[in-house]
Amino acid sequence: MADPAALPVIVGVGQLRSNRERTAEGAREPLDLMVDAAERAGVDSGVPGLLAAVDTIDIVNIISWSYDDPGATLAARIGASPAHTAHSTPGGNRPVELLDRAAQRIANGDSKVAVIAGAESLASLAMLMRQGVMPQWSQDPGGPARPDIEGFMSPLMRRYNMIMPVTVYPFYENGLRAALDQDFTTAQHWSATMYAEMTRAAARNDAAWDPVERTAADIATPGAKNRWICHPYPLLMNALLTVDQASAVIVTSLATARAAGVDEDNLIHVWGGAGRSDSLDIYHRPGYHHSPAIQEAFDETLKRTGLSAGDFDVLDLYSCFPVVPKLALLAMGLPPETPTSVTGGLTAFGGPANNYCGHAIVAAVRRLREGAHHAFVYGNGELLTKHSAIALSRHAHPDGYVGDPELSYVDAPHPPVRDDVRGSATIETYTVEYDRSGTPAKGFIIGRSPEGARFPALSFDPTTLHQLVDPALQCVGLSGIASEGGDGLTEFVLG
């Protein structure tokens, strides 16, 4: 076995749900929730005094409230004096990446006790602001955070307003359905059964925001409490962001854990994983039914660990929208009925902005302690852009830590991109935005010219919109006409 001083292990995990009732008295800021989660992780380790020995703190990007250095503030609250504190950039992959980086530091001898923590108070903040109240939380600088999202998208994406997750992820869902030659009913059934299974996991999770078991029919059927958002996803297939949740994970070396007296049965080994990134520009992707970066991140993780996909008896695959765990299962070569979350998913458990995978790590650790052997946790960031995977185990890897958290860029070829296509064209992928009454309101098209150039377009034509959402039609590949519309933007109609 590798040197115990270089073997990273998770010794404690903590999480919580706060103010589910959405009361003004119960509203707590993210920093308070993180302190609570860290203290719970200390208790979970069996050695709460470990918190005072923390030398590294990484905070997952917080969007509900602004802090200059939340890691330093957390350190002061738990009595630690870390040499390193950092607040990550946005991305749902960050908790996985930060755990991998913490494990790498421990393996390299650069850290002995690390904490990865994250929290959001989006539900409380939204409730207070609806009442016209700005909470009097920490003022360093305070106020709702304003993440810099300019680096996550291209000018052409902004020009056509194809920048929101609710718009972009359906491009992949509709593209994947066409690539798999599935009809609408089959594709929706896969999504709904997968999410129904997640609700069962959420119902068993003490920090879940919506711990209610639902059937596939509940999830697939639109209605007053499950309105259409963007085709083909009703509300219950979208991440739920307005939550108050926090998590914390304590990582040490095996030698440090033993010296501190941590129970060996509590120790979960961090084998490591890999990260990859697709192009931030969605028009520069090779297609809309596959992610080269997901495939490479997974392949590299399996190669480094020496495991196959079937060796993992615990999975948590990111699920902001159904297409993400679908792509993950396909990349791993696992059957579609494979359960994809021990946490509960970003709808039923809740999606605390960038920190869902912080809770997935907690859930995976708990399952491993209960007797599972190997866990695989995958996080996706931005617009299906950044992908981090990690393997955890009850036992040490023979070679010790084997991961590489660096987010390598995958340079995949893509068609030429234009913004001046006019005349005959075909649909490469698409989605339709609904208004609150459930009426199709606006189409977002990624099309191809006869010469193969890719172009973005909008559609406002009622006939076209109703065809695009017709479950009997497969609209990928259909022909239409691209023309110049308002503000010089390309518009598209079928026919």
Q: What is the pLDDT of residues 410-464, one digit of tens each?
A: 999 999 999 999 999 999 999 999 999 999 999 999 999 999 999 999 999 999 9
Q: Where are the alpha helices (DSSP H) in 310-445?
A: 323-332, 356-369
DSSP track, 118-143: EEEEHHHHHHHHHTT-------SB-S
The mean pLDDT of the chain is 97
The predicted-structure confidence for 265-308, as pLDDT tens digits, reads as follows 999 999 999 999 999 999 999 999 999 999 999 999 999 999 99
Rounded distance between C-alpha atoms, residue 478 and residue 210, angstroms: 39
Which of 80, 84, 124 shows the shortest CA–CA distance to 105?
84
- The stretch 122-128 carries a mean pLDDT of 97
Q: What percent of the chain has pLDDT over 70?
A: 99
Question: Which residue type does 310 have?
Answer: G
Residue 238 to residue 320: CA distance in whole angstroms: 6
Indicate the helix (H) or strand (E) that contains 407.
strand 404-409
Picking from 188-192, 216-220, 483-487, which range would have the lowest pLDDT averaged per residue? 483-487
Interval 304-322 mean pLDDT: 98
pLDDT in the model for residue 152: 75
Q: Does domain 4-139+241-409 have CATH number 3.40.47.10?
A: yes
Say if pTM beats, i.e. exceeds, 0.85: yes
Pairing of strands 479-484, 490-494: antiparallel
Question: Residue 2: its pLDDT value, please?
Answer: 83
Q: Are 78 and 52 in contact (CB under 8 A)?
A: yes
Return all residues near 71 (Cβ < 8 A) that are at least 6 apart: 57, 58, 59, 82, 85, 86, 87
Q: Which CATH architecture has domain 423-494?
A: Beta Barrel (2.40)
368-413 pLDDT, tens digit each: 999 999 999 999 999 999 999 999 999 999 999 999 999 999 999 9
Peptide bond into 405 cis (omega under 30): no
pLDDT tens by residue, 129-153:
999 999 999 998 999 888 766 677 8
Helices (H) and strands (E) in the chain, counts: 13, 17
Q: What is the mean pLDDT of residues 43-47?
A: 97
pLDDT at 149: 66
What pLDDT, on a 0 to 100 scale, did the predictor assign at position 1?
Answer: 67
- Cα gap 356→361, rounded to integer Å: 9
* Structural domain spans, the chain: 4-139+241-409, 423-494
Tens digits of per-residue pLDDT, 89-113? 999 999 999 999 999 999 999 999 9
